[in-house]
Structure 1
Amino acid sequence: MSFNVGLSGLNAASTSLNVTGNNIANVGTTGFKSARAEFGDMYANSLFLGSGRYKVGSGVTTQAISQQFTQGNVTTTGASMDLAINGNGFFITSNNGSTSYTRAGAFGTDSSGNIVDASGNRLQGYGVNANGDLVSGVLTDLTVSTAAVSPKATSTLTETVNLNSSDAVPSESPFDASNSKSYNYTFATDVYDSQGNKHSLSQYFVKTDTNAWSMYVTVDGVNPAEPSSTVPYSADLSFNSSGALVGSTSDDFTVDNLGKLTLIDWVPASQNADGEMVANGASPASGGMLLDVVATTQYNTTSAQTAKVVDGYAPGSLSSLSIDADGYLFGTYSNGQSKVIGQVALATFANMQGLTPAGGTNWKESYASGVPVVGAPNAGVMGDITAGALEDSNVDLTSELVNLIKAQSNYQANAKTISTESTLMQTILQMT
């Protein structure tokens, strides 16, 4: 019996050495989770071997090799596609439909723009539809599209402007954009047509009387509706004694509400070879462009534009990618626009110890682990994501070196048990 007891001890010590050695070998592996050998004693069930406190054990057996899913240190790398999970959850990857789960977040892109790990497994998450809306609940391969963003024609210009109430009526009349003595204040705004061409919308303000101003508008220096004409569009603005805008009238704009002027019949144009402004074949936003000047005031302070919101933009290509704590992928484009192009999904399990190691710092779902619960980062029990960082191995090297010494001592002690039993056996044989 003692031979078997000693042999089981040698096997257990060898298993412990293997587990400890594997932990030490992977101390630098990103996302690696250390393992622990768990042992249990053995007792033979027999009527002839005694019972209760007189029962002698039959040695030791390995009950489990348990993964320790404690948090590893998060180390900054600076690479935008490197991801680390703070808290619960696993990244979900797919290889031709075979799903794996990992804590190693060293990702990049392949030739098709798919976000992949070093083994080519594709990161899973939530994509966006044709309208750019996130499609939650349906996992898909996350892709970084390098396609250019289509241009958008400017449809709204909202501005906050103050006109100096102490200004005098200009000394020269009528208004002439080339004569600064015929107006009090001017500024320009970039607007875009349907093809993404940039145009300059200029506004000129002329004081006509107490609490009364005229606003003149040109696009690229010409009439918005007739590129061959330099006659601007115009609107009359009136203010009350408190300096607030109280009315607007115009023959060139459709006045929707107080101070909301729709620029109609805008014809995008550009210079031809002769320097003439001619239509360029593009179009303005459908329905014209809303020029909202409701916030215009007339106070006794310097004329100035203090706020402006304008939509529309030129076409643009992807210039950078960023990922936030909630897993949203933001694409920033050369035209200054940014948009969500996807969201990383995470998975967690009722029994993480039941996951089956698959190599490459990956795990597979098993019956013991239960089915995965999939969700967005930073929601429910899911951890958040740190971009530009990786989670280190959670191996405590000092502890593992101590375990190595203990396993070695255990191995030597169990070998001594067998050696002692062999000596006793020889003694018995010599007596016969």
Structure 2
Amino acid sequence: MSFYTSLSGLKGAQTDMSVISNNIANANSIGFKRSKATFGDIFASSPTQSTKTVAGQGQRLIGIAQQFTQGSYETSEKTLDLAVVGEGLFVVKGDPPREQVTYTRNGAFSPTADGHIVDSTGQKLQLLPVDAAGNVTDRTLGGMSDFVLPSGAPSDPASSLINVSIGQDGLVSATFANGEMQVLGKVAMATFPAMEGLRPIGDAHWQSTGESGVPSIDAATNGPMGAIRSGALERSNVDITEELVMLIGAQRNFQANAKAIEGASTLTQTIINMRT
């Protein structure tokens, strides 16, 4: 039995090292959120058996939880580089026919040749419609639209776009050569009842699940959405020093369990030699 007890410890330490290694590998990934492995002990006995004479049977992996804490920020020279100060996630949508909606903290957006604003994976940033006063008029996934840069002023298509600004509340305003200004909408943001339940799909993107709950859609500066910082990017929330210390601890746990297996093997071999 000691073989299997120590084997569960080896597997747990290996999983812990894998999680920590992934955190370290993504220390420079924009919008990455570190993960932490959680373990529990295994204990089993019959109802009539005294637990005072029963040893535990090792450990098991309870889960790998994502840590949605705030990352540090770095400034950039691009207006379309966006960072969130708060819990909100940008809402992006894939290409037809699926048009899959995902959520991201990676705010490195850029325009395409046709004017669409996309992230590093090519998914389109979504905007919420607003009225003349800048108030959001539809807070549903179906009410969102793609963020598309206009080619010309509404009253004079020949007047080219010269500037786009994004406020802390996510309000997107376009300015044209003739001095005209057009409000395009507000950057769509989302939060979830249980952020840890989101399913990671890579590139700092997540999908909603039954565990995460239904998304709450709104603009920045409302509730826990946080504020938007234009001209900045959120770095990963990985602390290299902390991860390295945890990695050393996981390595020591692995070595200790390996030693326990070696000791059990030596004891078993000694008993076999005594019988022969």
Task: Identify the residue that residue 402 of structure 1 maps to in structure 2.
Answer: 245
| Map of 1:311 onto structure 2 | none
Separation in 2, partners of 1:136, 1:62: 42
Give the aligned partner of residue 58 of structure 1: 57
Structure 1 SS opposite 2:114:
coil
Query: Number of paired residues?
Result: 268
CA contact (8 A) 2:31 2:106 kept: yes
Letter aligned with residue 72 of structure 1: G
Structure 2: unaligned runs, 5 residues or longer: none
- Residue 146 (structure 2) pairs with residue 141 (structure 1): yes
Shift of 1:145: 1.2
Larger Rg: 1
Q: Displacement of 1:112 after TM fit? A: 1.8
Q: TM-score, normalised by structure 1?
A: 0.59
Pair 1:423–1:47, CA change in 2 (3 A): farther
Partners of 1:316 and 1:134 in 2: CA distance? 28
Q: 1:82: which partner in 2?
A: 81
Residues 17, 335 of structure 1: CA spacing in aligned structure 2 closer, same or farther, 3 A cutoff? Answer: same
Over 3 Å counting, the alpha-carbon distance change for 1:360 and 1:34 in structure 2 is: same
Once residues 133 and 58 of structure 1 are traced to their aligned partners in structure 2, the CA distance between those partners, rounded to angstroms, is 59
CA distance in 2 between counterparts of 1:405 and 1:128 reads: 52
Q: Name the structure 1 match of 2:115.
A: 113
Match of 1:124 in 2: 126
Q: How far apart in 1 are the matches of 2:159 and 2:192?
A: 42
Q: Tell me the amino acid that sits aligned with residue 76 of structure 2.
A: T
- Structure 2 counterpart of 1:417: 260
- In the aligned structure 2, how far is the partner of 1:134 from the partner of 1:371? 20
The correspondence of residues 9-408 of structure 1 with structure 2, limited to 5 A, is 9-46=9-46, 50-96=49-95, 97-127=99-129, 135-137=137-139, 138-151=143-156, 316-408=159-251
Q: Which TM-score applies when normalising by structure 2?
A: 0.92
Q: Is the 8 A contact 2:153 2:180 kept in 1?
A: no
Alpha-carbon offset, residue 414 of structure 1: 0.4
Deviations 1:317-341 (A, max 9, x none): 1101110100011111111222211
- Give the secondary-structure state (helix, strand or coil) at the position aligned to 2:163: strand
The amino acid across from 1:399 in the alignment is E
Q: Of the two structures, which has the highest relative contact order with CA contacts closer than 8 Å and spacing of 6 or more?
A: 2
Amino acid at match of 1:61: R
CA distance in 2, matches of 1:54, 1:134: 65
Query: Which residue number corresponds to residue 305 of structure 1?
Result: none
Letter in 2 for 1:7: L
3-state secondary structure, aligned to 1:398 = helix
Structure with more helix by fraction: 2
Q: Which amino acid aligns with 1:339?
A: Q
Structure 2 counterpart of 1:105, one-letter code: G
* Structure 2: distance between partners of 1:27 and 1:315: 46
User: Do 1:15 and 1:37's aligned partners in 2 also have CA atoms closer than 8 Å?
Assistant: yes
CA RMSD of aligned residues (A): 2.0
Query: By how many angstroms is 1:80 displaced?
Result: 0.6
1:36 & 1:85 partners in 2: Cα distance? 23
Aligned-partner SS, 2:120: coil
Q: Are the equivalent residues in 2 in contact too, given 1:346–1:382 (CA < 8 A)?
A: yes
In the TM superposition, what whole-angstrom CA distance separates every residue of 1:107-146 from its partner, at most 9, and x where no partner exists? Answer: 01112211111111111121469xx997533211111111
CA deviation vs aligned residue, 1:30-58 (integer Å, no higher than 9, x gap) = 0000000100000124358x433333111
User: For 1:344-370, what per-residue CA distance to the aligned partner results, in whole angstroms no more than 9, with x for missing partners?
Assistant: 011000001111111111111011100
- Report Cα offsets for 1:6-48 as digits up to 9, x if no partner: 1000000000100000000000000000000100000124358
Structure 1 pair 381–71 and aligned structure 2 pair: CA distance change class (3 A):
same
Identity of aligned residues (%): 45
Distance in 1 of aligned mates of 2:136 and 2:260: 66
Cα distance in 2 for partners of 1:392, 1:360 equals 13
Q: Does the CA-based 8 Å contact 2:136-2:219 persist in structure 1?
A: no
Report the AA paired with residue 82 of structure 1: D
CA distance in structure 2 between the aligned counterparts of 1:53 and 1:417, rounded to whole angstroms: 22
Q: Which segments of structure 1 move beyond 4 Å, counting only runs of 4 or more?
A: 132-135
**Residue deviations 1:286-323, cap 9 Å, x none?**
xxxxxxxxxxxxxxxxxxxxxxxxxxxx9621101110
Which is richer in strand?
A: 1
1:430 offset after TM fit, Å? Answer: 1.0
**Structure 1: segments with no counterpart, 5+ residues:** 152-313
Q: d(CA) in 1 for partners of 2:136 and 2:163?
A: 19
**Distance in 2 separating the partners of 1:338 and 1:104:** 28
Q: Aligned equivalents of 1:51 and 1:382: distance in 2?
A: 52
SS in structure 1 opposite 2:164?
strand
Contact 1:38 1:66 in 2 (8 A): yes
3-state SS, counterpart of residue 366 of structure 1: coil
Q: CA deviation at 1:384?
A: 0.6
